[in-house]
């Protein structure tokens, strides 16, 4: 699908493009944040890290979803093809760039939520820079970029491909039913791709540092050891919990994003 303004003036198109994406992700993320934090820590916890969490959702979501289409158009221009492989690659690039740019907000969110005292996000930021240096705001950016790339690729490429296939082979037209069905397929694909990554990340994070040999040297070694010792299905431990979170979030994101694009006078994804 080629880009179109559909009545939107060129100077505002980029703003609407990234704005609708960010607002959609923020809407989907807000419900998950509120529910999890109230269940685990009580109503007071809603105020710990809320500002950086929503800021990250708007900026990160806007970049992650918003950069996908430009990347896809570049692939189309360079290779004259928009097959699934190029769509997946576009998602990987978009997710990685978005994470690299917004990693500081993720660090601030985690630090704010872990803080035992009520201090503002600005004070948390100043404390991190003063005690650990500016580079501390990009801690864990490598694994985060890898996961975000896989997540964005599986979500966007699958949603895009599923939507185009249903438009071509079924009576469905642009609308809620098409968007909901496509997003459910995308949510399932995202779970299949990211569940093993989350499991490996958890194993590595729980591994205690010691002077002797560690159980897992890196992510690839961890995956290999898990498959050899526990079987391939062990990579999907906690997969249902991942789908319970990611499935609805994906559906809300795309349905809201498509509606906002329609209201803004933009073409559908």
pLDDT digits (tens, 9 = 90+) for 197-218: 888 877 776 665 544 556 777 7
Burial label for 129, CB within 10 Å (0-12, 13-18, 19+), is middle
Q: Which residues contact 71 (CB under 8 A, 6 or more apart)?
A: 89, 90, 91, 93, 94
Residue 1: its pLDDT value, please? 44
The pTM of the full predicted model, rounded to 2 decimals, is: 0.77
pLDDT digits (tens, 9 = 90+) for 150-197: 999 999 999 999 999 999 999 999 999 999 999 999 999 999 998 888
Q: Which of 224, 228, 222 is nearest to 203 (CA)?
A: 222
Instruction: Establish how many alpha carbons lie within 13 A of residue 99's alpha carbon, considering only the half-sphere containing its beta carbon.
Output: 20
Q: Sort residue 15 into left (φ over 0), alpha (ψ -120 to 50) or beta.
A: alpha
Residue 169: its pLDDT value, please? 95
Residue 155: its pLDDT value, please? 93
Considering all CA atoms of the chain, what is the largest pairwise distance in Å, rounded to the nearest integer?
64
Give the DSSP letter of residue 6. Answer: T
**What is the C-alpha to C-alpha distance for residues 98 and 151, in angstroms, rounded to an integer?**
12
Give the DSSP letter of residue 47. Answer: G
Contact 79, 86 (CB under 8 A): yes
**What is the C-alpha to C-alpha distance for residues 24 and 58, in angstroms, rounded to an integer?**
8
Q: Sort residue 209 into left (φ over 0), alpha (ψ -120 to 50) or beta.
A: beta
Residue 208: its pLDDT value, please? 56
Q: Sort residue 115 into left (φ over 0), alpha (ψ -120 to 50) or beta.
A: beta
| Tens-level pLDDT at each residue, the chain (269 residues) | 444 455 555 556 667 667 787 777 777 766 665 555 555 555 555 555 556 566 767 788 888 888 998 899 888 888 888 789 999 999 999 999 998 998 888 787 777 767 666 677 788 888 888 888 888 888 778 878 888 999 999 999 999 999 999 999 999 999 999 999 999 999 999 999 988 888 887 777 666 554 455 677 777 888 888 899 999 888 888 888 888 888 898 999 999 999 888 888 888 88
Residue 2: its pLDDT value, please? 45
């Amino acid at each position: 699908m080629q880009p179109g303004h559909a009545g939107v003036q060129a100077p505002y198109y980029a703003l609407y493009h990234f704005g609708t994406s960010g607002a959609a992700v923020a809407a989907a993320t807000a419900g998950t944040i509120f529910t999890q934090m109230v269940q685990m820590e009580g109503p007071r916890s809603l105020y710990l890290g809320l500002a950086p969490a929503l800021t990250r959702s708007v900026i990160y979501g806007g970049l992650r979803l918003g950069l996908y289409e430009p990347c896809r158009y570049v692939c189309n221009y360079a290779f004259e093809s928009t097959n699934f492989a190029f769509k997946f690659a576009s998602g990987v690039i978009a997710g990685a760039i978005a994470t690299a740019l917004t990693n500081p907000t993720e660090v601030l969110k985690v630090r704010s939520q872990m803080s035992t005292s009520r201090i503002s996000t600005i004070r948390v930021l100043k404390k991190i820079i003063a005690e650990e240096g500016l580079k501390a705001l990009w801690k864990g950016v490598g694994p985060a970029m890898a996961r975000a790339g896989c997540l964005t690729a599986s979500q966007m490429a699958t949603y895009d491909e599923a939507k185009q296939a249903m438009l071509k082979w079924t009576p469905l037209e642009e609308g809620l039913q098409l968007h909901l069905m496509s997003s459910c397929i995308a949510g399932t694909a995202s779970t299949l791709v990211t569940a093993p990554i989350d499991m490996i990340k958890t194993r590595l994070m729980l591994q205690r540092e010691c002077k002797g040999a560690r159980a897992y040297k890196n992510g690839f070694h961890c995956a290999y050891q898990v498959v050899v010792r526990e079987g391939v299905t062990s990579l999907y431990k906690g997969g249902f919990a991942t789908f319970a979170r990611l499935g609805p979030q994906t559906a809300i994101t795309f349905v809201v994003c498509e509606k906002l694009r329609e209201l803004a006078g933009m073409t559908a994804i």
